[in-house]
């Protein structure tokens, strides 16, 4: 059951158990080692599968961090590495970012990385998140999110950092920056990313109320660009990609940079202070207790 949204996400337990077994077996991407669409080999890490198609210049990047694709330190690191690898391959011009887990795009930041650890760990974790956002937000590649599941908080940030968002039409697939519901505050660069997408007033309302939008509302407010029937999300993302890739790269890339640089620079100029803010905020007893209680509720809701 989805605790925050008050929605049930049924029948994933069995899939999760299977996923855990696959995880334990490792050799994560052996099943995909045969290669992508144009004979280009799939590559990836334990938690990120990349299926490149050299003919189209588009790679599908799939998140796989069971049970809910939470953005653990490992997943963040693997995402940055995969992104960097694609950026360095001249053949590739676009990425479809999606999930390999049914019903979940990403549950956002990994709460277990933020609870009961030491300040050095919090600092390392936050730096890794900053790194992923800075790279994803500013990449010269076109990135389209094919959102095939719920994406609260950090999951929403991931989607908002892409150039275009397609959401599968399922009322359980909620999306939004719901941090206030956890008693925490969305960092300024989360807020800026949302403002750049849906505007100031809509962001203020969404952030203060911790709104998690269902597909129709997400489309209306502009958090996503397109809602399509489940099962068509990747196809729709690929169709949208055709339009983006029809634009000359240099013009599109310079325009992207022009639109996003000031936002990214704002974090770059105060990166260390942002880490220290996060560490001291997270080190407060009251915040630790609130996060523990929240995590415990998530764990117990199945019982």
Ligand X SMILES: CCCCCCCC/C=C\C/C=C/C(=O)SCCNC(=O)CCNC(=O)[C@H](O)C(C)(C)COP(=O)(O)OP(=O)(O)OC[C@H]1O[C@@H](n2cnc3c(N)ncnc32)[C@H](O)[C@@H]1OP(=O)(O)O
Residues between 6 and 25 with contacts to ligand X, criterion CB under 6 A: 9, 12
Taking the C-alpha atoms of residue 23 and residue 168, their distance in angstroms, rounded to an integer, is: 26
Helix boundaries (H) for the chain:
13-25, 73-88, 119-138, 154-160, 188-198, 200-209, 215-221, 233-245, 249-268, 271-282, 285-300
CA distance from start to end of the chain: 11
Strand, coil or helix: what is 71?
Answer: strand
**By CB under 6 A, is residue 68 in contact with ligand X?**
yes
- Report the residue from 77, 253, 270, 277 that binds ligand X according to the rule CB under 6 A: 277
Residues between 161 and 190 with contacts to ligand X, criterion CB under 6 A: 179, 182, 184-187
Helix axes 119-138, 271-282, angle to 10 degrees: 140
Contact map string, positions 38 to 67, toward ligand X, x by CB under 6 A? -----------------------------x
**By CB under 6 A, is residue 4 in contact with ligand X?**
yes
**By CB under 6 A, is residue 298 in contact with ligand X?**
yes
Candidates 24-32, 37-45, 149-157, 159-167 — which segment interacts with ligand X by CB under 6 A? 149-157
Q: How far is the CB of 224 from ligand X (least distance, A)?
A: 17
Q: Please give the positions annotated as active site.
A: 109, 154, 178-179
The answer to whether residues 15 and 163 touch, using CB atoms and an 8 Å cutoff, is no
The answer to whether residues 53 and 61 touch, using CB atoms and an 8 Å cutoff, is no
The answer to whether residues 140 and 256 touch, using CB atoms and an 8 Å cutoff, is yes
**By CB under 6 A, is residue 153 in contact with ligand X?**
yes
- Report the residue from 52, 57, 154, 210 that binds ligand X according to the rule CB under 6 A: 154
Contacts of residue 234, Cβ cutoff 8 Å, sequence gap at least 6: 60, 96, 98, 146, 148
Contact map string, positions 104 to 123, toward ligand X, x by CB under 6 A? x--xxxxxx-----------
Binding residue count for ligand X, defined by CB under 6 A? 32
**By CB under 6 A, is residue 150 in contact with ligand X?**
yes
The answer to whether residues 122 and 130 touch, using CB atoms and an 8 Å cutoff, is no
Candidates 2-10, 20-28, 51-59, 220-228 — which segment interacts with ligand X by CB under 6 A? 2-10
User: What residues line the site for ligand X (CB under 6 A)?
Assistant: 1-4, 9, 12, 67-68, 70, 104, 107-112, 150, 152-154, 179, 182, 184-187, 277-278, 281, 298-299, 302
């Amino acid at each position: 059951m989805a605790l925050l949204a008050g929605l049930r996400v049924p029948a994933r337990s069995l899939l999760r158990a299977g996923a855990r077994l696959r995880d334990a077996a490792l050799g994560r991407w052996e099943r995909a080692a045969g290669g992508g669409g144009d004979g280009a080999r799939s590559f990836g890490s334990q938690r990120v599968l990349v299926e490149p198609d050299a003919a189209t210049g588009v790679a599908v990047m799939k998140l796989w961090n069971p049970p809910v694709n939470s953005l653990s330190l490992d997943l963040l690191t693997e995402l940055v590495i995969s992104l960097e690898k694609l950026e360095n391959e001249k053949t590739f011009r676009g990425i479809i970012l999606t999930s390999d887990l049914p019903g979940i795009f990403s549950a956002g930041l990994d709460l277990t990385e933020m609870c009961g650890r030491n300040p050095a760990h919090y600092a390392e974790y936050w730096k890794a998140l900053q790194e992923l956002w800075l790279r994803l937000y500013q990449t010269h590649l076109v990135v389209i999110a094919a959102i095939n599941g719920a994406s609260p908080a950090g999951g929403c940030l991931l989607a908002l950092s892409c150039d275009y968002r397609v959401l599968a039409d399922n009322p359980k697939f909620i999306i939004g920056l719901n941090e206030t519901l956890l008693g925490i505050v969305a960092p300024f660069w989360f807020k800026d990313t949302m403002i750049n997408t849906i505007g100031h007033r809509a962001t203020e309302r969404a952030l203060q109320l911790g709104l998690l939008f269902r597909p129709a509302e997400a489309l209306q407010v502009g958090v996503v660009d397109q809602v399509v029937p489940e099962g068509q999300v990747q196809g729709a993302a690929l169709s949208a990609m055709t339009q983006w890739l029809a634009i000359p790269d240099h013009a599109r890339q310079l325009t992207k940079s022009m639109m996003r640089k000031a936002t990214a620079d704002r974090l770059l100029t105060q990166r260390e202070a942002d880490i220290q803010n996060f560490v001291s905020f997270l080190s407060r007893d009251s915040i630790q207790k609130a996060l523990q209680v929240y995590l415990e509720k998530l764990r117990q809701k199945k019982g």
